[in-house]
Amino acid sequence: MFDSEKSTGTQYTWTVALLAVAFIFIPAVLIVTRPAGSMALVIALLCSLTSATLAWVNWKKASQLSIPTIATQPVEPK
C-alpha cells in the first residue's frame, strides 16, 4: 500500500537552493558588481528566471513523488 521506505525530504533541497540562487544570489551579485550596461541586467534576469523555473519543475516532480496514491485492490466475490 504505502511505501514507507521512500524518503522525499531531500528532494526539496534542490528546490530551495535554486530559489536562493534566483532570488538572493543573482540580485546580490548585481548589487555588488553594479553593471554598467543593460546586457548584464538582461543576463541576470534570464538566469534568475531560469533558476526559478527549474525550482518549480523540481518542486512539481518531488511533490508528485511524495503524494502517496491509494491503490485499491479488486474485491473478489466469496
Each residue's pLDDT tens digit, 34-66: 766 788 888 888 999 999 999 999 888 877 765
Neighbouring residues of 54: CB distance < 8 A, sequence distance ≥ 6: 18
Amino acid found at 25: F
pLDDT of residue 1: 44
Q: Work out the mean pLDDT of the chain and round it to a whole number.
A: 77
- Taking the C-alpha atoms of residue 18 and residue 60, their distance in angstroms, rounded to an integer, is 14
To the nearest whole percent, how much of the chain has pLDDT over 90? 21
User: Which CA distances in Å does 50 have to 40, 44, 46?
Assistant: 15, 10, 6
The Cβ of residue 69 has, within 10 Å, a number of other Cβ atoms equal to 8
What's the pLDDT score for residue 54? 93
pLDDT tops 60 at residue 20: yes
